[in-house]
Structure 1
Amino acid sequence: MIIGTVVNASGLAQARLMAGSVKRQMPDAKVLVCLVEESPVGPLPDIDWIFTARQISGYIGFHDFDRYIFKFNSLQCGAAMKGQLLTYLLEAFPAEEHIVYLDPEMYVFKPFDEIEHMLSYYDVVLTPHHLEPSDAWDCTREIGTLQDGTFHSGLVAVKNSWEGRNFADWWMKIIAGDFGGQPNGIFTDQPYLNFAPAFFNTGILRHPGYNLAFWNLHENGRQLFRAGDEYCLTNHTPLRCANFSNFLGLLDSCIDTYTPHDGTYRQMWNEYQQNWAWLSLQHPALPWSYDYFYSGEKIADETKLRYRAAKIDHLVEANPFTLSNHSDF
């Protein structure tokens, strides 16, 4: 099994935490990091390979990298490169039967036995954001999930098969954003996964121990407790992996809302933050390479939006990084 992730330089600390957890639970797994920066970095513990996004794009024949990445901001770069990374892993490692994409915020607590089993029958395995419906009078979560996508793109498993490669190629192309009607926001890759069960031989992983995160802490089947040295969920279900995304402080808020009198999740989150803080000293937050024109001028968000719209309507021949915020597209 190869596990891949996408980060910019400021996310390397979390990528190392994820990679270390993988190696402890699945020593035979290999970890590859796609770094969305111009400059590469040297070898890092627990990470087998580090390639820049430009290198990966070039390998799969996607040579218009500058025009592609210019449209996205630093938060969107991970969503932009997931399909490309999966395509690369399936092509570059033909002997590897199972490929898994994991967000860098993921932390692995147990081997992915269920994923390995499901990939014996399916070519793609997805995990839903929610496993339990809301009360009939409150459908706000369902409405929000329709906008962000039913399945979470932070864990996508693919078999190295004809069908699996077709899925990766389809996902890579459809999230490129070169057409009208592209979803807005940060999670522009997720809504398209709604179609995967209809288009491809896709299995839905309903094991509650995968993808424990702020968006499903309210579910009855995901109550967390500690059994000895291990974390378990309701009915002694083993916790396989947790997503420690704290986007807009939502993890802190949901812990306070749904587990205010139970310190288990807070303890787990605090332990993660302590390790993250220690590694962040070695990988401090840095400006993103692709947030600047070659002149050093900061690219305005409005400029990225104008360029994206112009690229849909007509071909923009110049390398956008050679231009400025005052350029006409």
Structure 2
Amino acid sequence: MQTSIVFTLCSNNYLAHAKTLGDSLKKHNPDVHFIIGLVDERDPAIDYSYFAPYEVLPYSEIGYAFFSEMLAKYNVIEFNTAVKPFYFEYIFKQYGKNSMVYYIDPDIAFYSSLESLNESLKNKNIVITPHLTKAQLPVSPFETMVLNVGIYNLGFIGIRNTEESGNFLVWWQERLKDHCYIDYARGLFVDQIWINLVPLIFKDVEVLMNPGYNMACWNFHERKLLSKEGKYFVNEEHPLVFFHFSGFKPLNMQYVSKIKTREFTLEARPDLKDLFHEYAKWLLDNDYAKFSASKPKLKFGHGKYSKKQRIGLSLKFRTNSYIKKLFGV
């Protein structure tokens, strides 16, 4: 029997988001096992039993001694993303062959069951979602963004425990140990940019083109939301499976993303009004004000390295004089 597990990753300041994701999953998938991967130290001021029945699994408890070396190189975002394939490996070991494991960003909420995703993953090794699915004229700023950060959005990835996906995880882990930086000039963007290569070099990878998966600010131009009989639909016919509230702050309801222009306001997108108000209330009910004020307890070494040292650590180009000259190292 195949087992489905969902995990997220966050520091203490995103725990309200993580609980909200778990609550939304449980609402539509009562049997799901949800894990909050805590990429932080436990805070004595936080009662982690508050998140029951969800499992809280700190990064320090999954058994990778070299995480301390990664902490010495990365900032909070880089490290949170770099541990992702190691959590996959750990969970696979717990649940065995053919288990289906999904990583979901904490600022996502589910509005349908996992059944459609499970069906896709039954015969695939990996399922991913693209940032964009339709051509647009003129050039969209999100097209140029995608060229820098990656074709696929790693707020979501599903992997079935197979030999091929095991090969993928080994490959991904090797890259994220040393090359999980936000460094656009050198073609790096955390764990996400590497996934550009995955459909080319690994077998049975499905790109989910259904617009009901991973609706977010970067694809608003191609997706409209409709509420009908208590359910949400994208572009009228596709049930909304999950929505990515990237950059949204529930204490500032004017904007629905980090981009503060009129097109990303609820005034400009009245189709999103109910969805965002519901999500904001959910976050606030889950103690968003308290958790968002928390400071990460981990000590990151990113600031200990000069720019020159950091490039050397990430790309190991220092022995190549041509590359040194090219990149000004």
Under TM normalisation by the shorter chain, which class is it? Answer: 0.7 to 0.9
Tell me, in whole angstroms, the C-alpha distance in 1 between the residues paired with 2:307 and 2:42: 25
Where does 1:72-221 land on structure 2 (aligned, <5 Å)?
Answer: 72-94=74-96, 97-135=99-137, 137-138=138-139, 140-177=141-178, 184=183, 187-200=189-202, 201-219=204-222
Give 1:261 shift.
4.8
Give 1:281 shift.
4.1
Q: Deviation string for 1:297-327 (max 9, x for gaps)? A: xx6736375664454559xxxxxxxxxxxxx
CA contact (8 A) 2:130 2:207 kept: yes
CA contact (8 A) 1:213 1:243 kept: yes
CA contact (8 A) 1:26 1:111 kept: yes
- Name the counterpart of 2:327: none
CA contact (8 A) 2:12 2:291 kept: yes
Q: CA-atom RMSD, angstroms? A: 2.7
Query: What amino acid is aligned across from residue 193 of structure 2 in structure 1?
Result: P
Tell me the SS of whatever aligns to 1:251.
coil
Identity among equivalent pairs (%): 22
Give 1:183 shift.
5.3
Tell me, in whole angstroms, the C-alpha distance in 2 between the residues paired with 1:66 and 1:197: 31
Higher mean Cα deviation, 42-51 or 148-157?
42-51
Tell me, in whole angstroms, the C-alpha distance in 2 between the residues paired with 1:199 and 1:25: 34
> What TM-score do you get using the length of structure 1 for normalisation?
0.82
Give 1:10 shift.
0.3
- Name the counterpart of 2:323: none
Q: Which runs of 5+ in 1 are unaligned?
A: 293-298, 315-329
Give 1:48 shift.
2.9
Q: Deviation string for 1:60-95 (max 9, x for gaps)? A: xx3122111222222333212212211211122216
- Name the counterpart of 1:9: 12
CA contact (8 A) 2:179 2:190 kept: no
Give 1:204 shift.
0.7
- Inter-CA distance 209–276: structure 2 relative to 1 (3 Å threshold): same
- Inter-CA distance 244–140: structure 2 relative to 1 (3 Å threshold): closer
> What TM-score do you get using the length of structure 2 for normalisation?
0.82
Q: 1:286 aligns with which of 294, 307, 327?
A: 294
Tell me, in whole angstroms, the C-alpha distance in 2 between the residues paired with 1:254 and 1:133: 24
Tell me how many residue pairs correspond in the alignment. Answer: 299
CA contact (8 A) 1:19 1:46 kept: no
Give 1:197 shift.
0.4
- Name the counterpart of 2:225: 224
Tell me, in whole angstroms, the C-alpha distance in 1 between the residues paired with 2:198 and 2:77: 24
Q: 1:29 aligns with which of 27, 32, 41?
A: 32
- Inter-CA distance 35–96: structure 2 relative to 1 (3 Å threshold): farther
CA contact (8 A) 2:130 2:152 kept: yes
CA contact (8 A) 1:16 1:47 kept: no
- Inter-CA distance 302–69: structure 2 relative to 1 (3 Å threshold): closer
Tell me, in whole angstroms, the C-alpha distance in 1 between the residues paired with 2:51 and 2:31: 15
- Name the counterpart of 2:283: 276
Tell me the SS of whatever aligns to 2:128.
strand
CA contact (8 A) 2:232 2:239 kept: yes
- Name the counterpart of 1:49: 55
